[in-house]
Chains A and B, each alone.
Chain A
Amino acid sequence: MKRAAWPSVIALGMALLLAAPLRATQETRPPEEPGSPVRYQIDVALDDAGKILRGREEIVWRNTSRDEIPDMWFHLYWNAFKNERSAMLEESREDGSLGRSLPEEGGWGYVDITRLTQADGTDLLPTLEFMTADLPLHSQDRTVARVLFPAAVKPGEEVRLLVEFEAKIPRTIARSGYYQDSYFIAQWFPKPGVYEEGRGWNCHQYHQNSEFFADFADFNVRITVPSDFVVGASGKQMSAVSAADGKTVTYTFEQARIHDFAWTADPDYLKVERDFLAGQEVTAEEYAGLAAKLGIPEEELKLPDVKMILLIKPEHKAQIERHFKALRAGLKYYGLWFGPYPYETVTMVDPPFRTGSGGMEYPTLFTAGTGVLRDKKVLSPEGVIIHEFGHGYWYGLVANNEFEEAWLDEGINTYSTGRVQAKAYGPGMFSASLFGWPLTRLIHFPVYFDFELDRLAAIMIAERDPVTTASWLFSSRMSYAMNVYMRASTCLNTLERYLGEATMLRVMRAFQMRFRFRHPRTQDFIEVVNEVSGQNLTWFFEELFFAAQNFDYGVSKLVSQKKRGRDLGVFEVDGKKQEVKPEDVERQEKQDKEKGEKAYITEVTLRRFGEARLGGQARVKLRVVFEDGNEEVREWDGLDRWESFRFETPARAKFAQLDPDLVWLIDSDLANNSLKLKPGRGGVTRLTARFLFWVQNHLHLLSALI
């Protein structure tokens, strides 16, 4: 966040609102240095009775920029749960969801810094002030704080801070908290923001719609809990040491090059470990086939072995193997397609009951979530496992700013999840249950691939907000979710169909491997797309990501008529005027019929119904099929509002079809992509008959009241 006067802040907000492309033309970002600029040494103890964490944190932060930095901004995320005046809860009220968000009495949460000094003992706490720079203003939000250094930190210098804090664990509002004696602890420690050279601290308040952004760091965390608790955390467990009195155990976890650290504790967890053995999971043929497709050596594709850890509640014990199967699929396909998983461990957590912490990602740890009665035909928890594991790639390794460009992880990961799920499982069944009892055991619901439902959301939200809107500036929570997840994913699926699977895989792999352990922006992704595809596809992002426009091309008219041998009227023949009468026309038609001559004139008009346009080399294909089985194919650049095509053929047209290969999945009306000469009723009758039956049921149910 710019450490600047209000006018600059307002200008930034307006720029985001207008969704101006984040182009590199206005600035040149210096290359990010590899390696972690931050090191954390954290000791924390859980007071189970008081629901408090008492922590001591040593932060070593290196100035990797060329600026001299006079201050440090911190995230104090849990202050979002302190009272109703936080940005998060005020936004929840505006959204109408505040009632659901409010904790019970005594359930509020907060984090207090009780001591903050530099290594030399200089007390920085007196300089602490809370910052509320995001717009719209939430002046009493306390989720961002700033302290001033006595002397600016020069480029390349390190600053060592000692922080002591006390955090009241909330009865879960969002992702983090407790229920009875189960804990899921995330965003719990005072965490510096990200310093951006020339721009200042990027340290947004905690909003209802936003997620997180932090620097890569090396973590060493010691967690002390009551001895009967089972603990899981980011990274690798190095030790578990019992206290002398046996009442507590201190677990030590370490992990380098991650940007967040979460942990969980529950006395009831079952801890199960399995190994992902790459040699058993991937065949030589698979390596060879993919290497050929991507045009890279097989050696680059080889996957490492990974330790998989599952913490699962006893009531879900029967689903252990389902969890591991899904995680294996994630490790395999994310690894093969986008790059090998670089850490030794991954911890998968079945979140404790009512902690609200399900379906969330943290580096090397993620939460899934399931139910006691889950039908295997419904891909749950598989879908959420693959998705949350996938965030280890998109957000965990390629660490975009989730506040400002949420689509870069959510959209890309939703697209990736759909691919992995389709590859590993095929389509899944719609989930429906009645009071917790799955109806799918009795009723055969439709099956679908993720991209089909994603498209539904994508087209409904097309004109609300651009995909690239900053998280907290979306017009509603629904717009945020549908845009950054589904619309972004549908656009990426469209891009894949346009470029072809192999090229798209190369794009995604290049983006992952180039920006691992870095903080890319949308423009970086666009540049990778352009470079790998060999085309300038900036127009694609301008039309579908930076603007809120509807994409809709269709066939608006199809006429196919017999060509007349003669036309009525007066014509010059050999210098003399000759009138052609109706009987002359009839005679000609009779003669043509006897000779078997037929010719049809077919006219097809295509229209661009939406505002979004094709660009660059992109074309939309038109296919016209005739009654004699012949076809004609044309292309249209789609720039104008309409275009007509004329064909003279021996047979009448049967139908005209735009985009027969369904490249443009983002098209909001696929029904108008084709036009038949003669209407049909079969499909509509089928649909109406099904609807009719449900109406009969509804009427019979009503009659029970009378």
Chain B
Amino acid sequence: MPIVKIFGQSLRTTARKARLLAFLWPTYFLFAILISAPFYFLFQSHFSRSLMGEKLLTGMDILWLGDLVYRYQESTPLLLGWVLGTSLLFLVFAAFLNGGIIGRIAAGEERVTFPGFFGDCGRYFGRFFRVFLVSLAGYFLLAVVGRIASVPFRLWSKGASTEWTTLASSSLRLLVFLLLFSIVRMFFDYVKVALVSDDSRQVLRTTLRNFGFLGKRFFSAWSLFLLVGLIFILITLVYLTIAKMLPKTGIGPLLLFLWQQVYFLARLWTCVLFFATEYHFLKAHRTASQSNL
């Protein structure tokens, strides 16, 4: 099945499963509140009874920033530790959520419900967490390959006689790294999708089989993946363009916050779209293989 058709199918599936966003957005929001809470209380203790508190982020001056940095410079390790710790916890939680997303996509015409979504989260969590552990090997390989791939750019930059060379070199190095990262990410996405599609618990076997599957269809799978990535970039550019135009004072901060949440919803939507395209691609090519047999 051509990529365009699969993409169209995925868009329809994503639209049908839009209710996933109703579970995902609050989850991310609540987790973000959990991480932000200590900072809120810190800011509150320092600024709530000060006239300076009224000036925060109104664009009048940034003297409050000096106060904040000075006051909490000793607390930085503690705060960073908090953010790091909760971030690691979130990694585990993200594996949990991915199960629900892919599970509901694979559920076909079934409506997305609260028990259905979180049931799938639970059902696939163990498998997806094992996929994450296996993927660490993939990221390690990425680091090695990335380092090797960066050598010609470093050599090119070393002999540079103008800044354009170093700019081009670092930009290309970043692009190569991002493309390699997208391959690793796509590979393990397909492993997760295959586990759900086959209702299998055999992570290693599915991972190995995935080499075969993607090996035969690499460029079409990757093109589809990059297409969704491009949509994500376009959404970000639209967000930044409109965010710049919003007023900085008055109702502006509230509008900005709302716009930021709309943007975040769009990011979650692309997340669902990624999995939907992978699911339909897998299904289409598996069906085609079986038909050929």
Interaction A to B: yes
Which positions in A face B, CB cutoff 8 Å? 180, 313, 315, 353-354, 371-373, 435-437, 442-444, 446-449, 452-453, 455-456, 459-460, 655, 657, 668-676, 679-684, 686-693, 695-700, 702-706
Q: How far is the CA of A22 from the CA of B151 in the complex (A)?
A: 55
Partner of B170, one of A435, A442, A696: A435
Subset of 26 A-B contacts with CB under 8 Å: A313-B162, A353-B162, A442-B241, A442-B244, A443-B240, A446-B59, A448-B61, A460-B69, A655-B51, A657-B51, A669-B71, A673-B50, A673-B52, A676-B51, A680-B49, A681-B44, A683-B52, A683-B57, A684-B56, A688-B39, A695-B36, A696-B28, A699-B28, A700-B267, A704-B185, A705-B135
Do residues B87 and A670 form an inter-chain contact, with CB atoms below 8 A? Answer: no
Q: How far is the CB of B124 from chain A (nearest CB, A)?
A: 12
* Number of residues of chain B lying within 8 A (CB) of chain A: 73
CB within 8 Å for A442 and B185 given contacts A689-B253, A699-B28, A699-B32: no
Please measure, in the bound complex, the distance between the C-alpha atom of A673 and the C-alpha atom of B67, giving whole angstroms.
11
Task: State the main secondary structure of chain B at its contact with A.
Answer: helix
Contacts A315-B163, A700-B28 hold; do A680 and B174 have CB atoms under 8 A apart? Answer: no
**Are B87 and A684 within 8 A (Cβ)?**
no
Question: Does A668 contact B90, Cβ atoms closer than 8 Å?
Answer: no
Between A372, A447, A671, A697, the greatest number of chain B beta carbons within 10 A of the residue's beta carbon is seen for A671
The answer to whether B91 has its CB under 8 Å from any CB of chain A is: yes
CB of A671 within 8 A of CB of B64, answer yes
- Does B211 make an interface contact (CB < 8 A)? no
B53 within 8 A of A: yes
Q: How far apart are the CA atoms of A180 and B65 in the complex, in Å?
A: 43
| Nearest opposing residue in chain B for A461, CB measure | B70
Q: Is B161 an interface residue (CB 8 A)?
A: yes
Residue of B nearest to A181 (CB): B161
A180's partner among B51, B64, B161 (CB-CB below 8 A) is B161
Residues of B within 8 A of A682 (CB): 53-54
**Of listed B66, B166, B237, residue having the most chain A CB within 10 A:** B66
User: Is B228 close to A, CB under 8 A?
Assistant: no
* Contact, CB under 8 Å: A671 / B47: yes
B287 within 8 A of A: no
Determine the residue in chain B with the shortest Cβ distance to A705.
Answer: B91
| Cβ-defined contact, A692 with B50, below 8 A | no
Contact B47 A436 (CB under 8 A): no
Does B171 sit within 8 A of A, measured CB to CB?
yes
* Complex partner residue of B53 from A372, A448, A453, A684, CB under 8 angstroms: A684
Do B52 and A684 touch across chains, with their CB atoms under 8 A apart? Answer: no
Inter-chain contacts of A313 with B (CB < 8 A):
162
Give the residues from 113 to 150 in chain B that come closer than 8 angstroms, CB to CB, to chain A.
Answer: 128, 132, 135, 139
Given contacts A313-B162, A460-B69, 13 further A-B contacts (CB under 8 A): A353-B162, A372-B163, A657-B51, A680-B54, A686-B57, A690-B57, A692-B36, A695-B32, A698-B87, A699-B32, A699-B94, A706-B94, A706-B95
B218: CB under 8 A from chain A? Answer: no
Nearest to A443 among chain B residues (CB) is B240
Residue of A nearest to B139 (CB): A705
Q: When chains A and B are docked, how far (Å) is the Cα of A681 from the Cα of B46?
A: 11
Instruction: Kindly list chain B residues whose C-beta atoms are within 8 Å of the C-beta of A674.
Output: 50-52
A446-B62 in contact (CB<8A) = yes
Those of B239-273 within 8 Å (CB) of chain A: 240-241, 243-244, 248, 253, 257, 260-261, 264, 267-268, 271
Question: Are A456 and B264 also in contact (CB < 8 A) when A692-B36, A693-B257, A699-B31 are?
Answer: no
How does the 8 Å CB contact mask read for B153-174 relative to A, with 1 for contact and 0 for none?
0000000111110110011001
CB distance B50 to A676 under 8 Å? yes
Task: Report chain A residues within 8 Å CB of B46.
Answer: 671
With A676-B50, A676-B51, A691-B39 in contact, is A699–B87 under 8 Å at CB? yes
A452 and B62 within 8 A (CB): yes
Residue of B nearest to A458 (CB): B66
Q: Which 5 A-B pairs have the closest CB atoms?
A: A683-B56, A456-B66, A679-B48, A674-B51, A703-B94
Whether A372 pairs with B164 at a CB distance below 8 angstroms is yes
A698-B90 Cα distance, complex, nearest whole Å: 10
CB distance from A430 to the nearest CB of B (A): 9
Judge whether B289 is part of the interface by a CB distance below 8 angstroms. no
Contact between B53 and A683, CB atoms less than 8 A apart: yes
Query: Please, what's the 1-or-0 string for B34-49, where 1 marks a CB less than 8 Å from any CB in chain A?
Result: 0110011001101111
Report the Cα distance A684→B46, complex, angstroms: 9
With both beta carbons as reference points, the residue of chain B lying nearest to A451 in the complex is identified as B63
How far is B95's CA from A354's CA once the two chains are assembled, in angstroms? 46
